[in-house]
Amino acid sequence: MVDTKNNMIDSIGMKSAGPERKQPWDTEGPVVRLVCPDCQGELRVEGDELICGACGAVGRYLDGVPCFTDAKYYWGEVPEQTMRLANELADAEGWQAAVEKTVPRAELRQYICDARRADFQYLWDLPADATILDVGAGWGAIAAALAVNFSRVVAAEGVYERTRFIEKRARQSGLTSLQAVCADFLRLPFAPGQFDAIVLNGVVEWIGLASPEGDPRELQLRFLRRMRELLKPSGLVCVGIENRVGWSMFRGAPDHSGLPYTSLMPRALARYWCRRNQGNYRSDKNASYRTYTYSLGGYRRLFHEAGFEGFQAFHAYDGYNKPSVLLPLENQRALLHFVKRLELGRIGWRGYVREKILQMAARTGVWARGASEYIFLLKRS
Ligand SMILES: C[S@@+](CC[C@H](N)C(=O)[O-])C[C@H]1O[C@@H](n2cnc3c(N)ncnc32)[C@H](O)[C@@H]1O
Ligand SMILES: [Zn+2]
Mean pLDDT of 322-327: 88
CA distance 189 to 197: 16
Q: Within a domain: residue 208?
A: no
Q: Within a domain: residue 214?
A: no
For ligand 1, atom 8, name the residue with the nearest CA: 201
CA distance 150 to 178: 9
Q: Which pLDDT band, with edges at 50, 70 and 90, does 16 fall under? A: very low
Read off the DSSP letter of residue 212: S
Specify the number of domains making up the chain.
2
User: Where is pLDDT greater, at 41 or 285?
Assistant: 41
For ligand 1, atom 19, name the residue with the nearest CA: 210
Q: CB atoms < 10 A from the CB of 154, how many?
A: 28
pLDDT digits (tens, 9 = 90+) for 152-167: 999 999 999 999 999 9
Q: Which pLDDT band, with edges at 50, 70 and 90, does 125 fall under? A: confident
Looking at the structure, tell me whether residues 186 and 263 fall in a common domain.
no
Looking at the structure, tell me whether residues 181 and 254 fall in a common domain.
no
Cβ(286) – ligand 1 distance below 6 Å? no
Give 169 Cα–ligand 1 centroid separation in angstroms. 17
Read off the DSSP letter of residue 264: G
Q: CB atoms < 10 A from the CB of 218, how many?
A: 12
| Length of the chain measured in residues | 381
Q: Give the up-direction half-sphere exposure of residue 268: CA atoms within 13 A in the CB hemisphere.
A: 0
Give 336 Cα–ligand 2 centroid separation in angstroms. 53
User: Do residues 147 and 175 lie in contact, with contact meaning Cβ atoms separated by under 8 Å?
Assistant: yes
Per-residue model confidence (pLDDT) at position 31: 63
Q: Within a domain: residue 225?
A: no
CA distance 349 to 355: 10
Looking at the structure, tell me whether residues 311 and 174 fall in a common domain.
no
Question: Does 357 have pLDDT greater than 70?
Answer: yes
Mean pLDDT of 307-318: 92
CA distance 380 to 198: 11
pLDDT digits (tens, 9 = 90+) for 36-79: 999 999 999 999 999 999 999 999 999 889 999 999 999 889 99
Per-residue model confidence (pLDDT) at position 282: 73
Residues with CB under 5 A from ligand 2 (ion): 36, 38-39, 41, 52, 54-55
Per-residue model confidence (pLDDT) at position 287: 80
Q: Within a domain: residue 218?
A: no
Looking at the structure, tell me whether residues 21 and 108 fall in a common domain.
yes
Mean pLDDT of 139-163: 96
Q: Taking all residues of the chain, what is their mean pLDDT, rounded to a whole number?
A: 89
Q: Which ligand is nearest to the CA of 115?
A: 1
Looking at the structure, tell me whether residues 17 and 145 fall in a common domain.
yes
Q: Within a domain: residue 220?
A: no
Looking at the structure, tell me whether residues 151 and 261 fall in a common domain.
no
Looking at the structure, tell me whether residues 43 and 130 fall in a common domain.
yes
Q: Which ligand is nearest to the CA of 36?
A: 2
Q: Which pLDDT band, with edges at 50, 70 and 90, does 17 fall under? A: very low
Q: Give the up-direction half-sphere exposure of residue 90: CA atoms within 13 A in the CB hemisphere.
A: 24
The C-alpha torsion from 45 through 196 and 296 to 310, rounded to 10°, is: 140
Q: Within a domain: residue 1?
A: no
At 263 the three-state DSSP class reads helix
- What's the predicted TM-score (pTM) here? 0.91
β-strands 178-182, 195-201 pairing: unpaired
Give 207 Cα–ligand 1 centroid separation in angstroms. 9
pLDDT digits (tens, 9 = 90+) for 291-303: 999 999 999 999 9
Between 14-18, 69-73, 207-211, the lowest mean confidence (pLDDT) is in: 14-18
For ligand 1, atom 4, name the residue with the nearest CA: 138
User: Where is pLDDT greater, at 133 or 7?
Assistant: 133
Q: Which ligand 1 atom is the nearest neighbour of the CA of 138?
A: 27
Provide the domain limits for residue 321: 247-380
* Nearby residues of 11 by Cβ (< 8 Å), 6 or more positions away: 1, 42, 43, 44
Cβ(208) – ligand 1 distance below 6 Å? no
Q: Quote the distance between the C-alpha of residue 241 and its chain's center.
A: 10
Q: Within a domain: residue 180?
A: yes
Per-residue model confidence (pLDDT) at position 144: 97
For ligand 1, atom 13, name the residue with the nearest CA: 136
Question: Does 284 have pLDDT greater than 80?
Answer: no
Q: Within a domain: residue 99?
A: yes
Count H helices, E strands: the chain? 13, 15
Per-residue model confidence (pLDDT) at position 136: 97
Cβ(202) – ligand 1 distance below 6 Å? yes
CA distance 236 to 124: 9
Cβ(181) – ligand 1 distance below 6 Å? no
Cβ(159) – ligand 1 distance below 6 Å? yes
Q: Which ligand 1 atom is the nearest neighbour of the CA of 203?
A: 10
Bridge-partner residues for 131, per DSSP?
152
CA distance 45 to 75: 29
Q: Which ligand 1 atom is the nearest neighbour of the CA of 185?
A: 20
CA distance 110 to 13: 34
Looking at the structure, tell me whether residues 344 and 287 fall in a common domain.
yes
Give 124 Cα–ligand 2 centroid separation in angstroms. 34
Any alpha helices (H) in the chain, and if so which ranges? 24-27, 80-93, 95-102, 106-113, 141-149, 160-172, 216-230, 247-250, 267-277, 296-305, 332-342, 349-364, 366-370
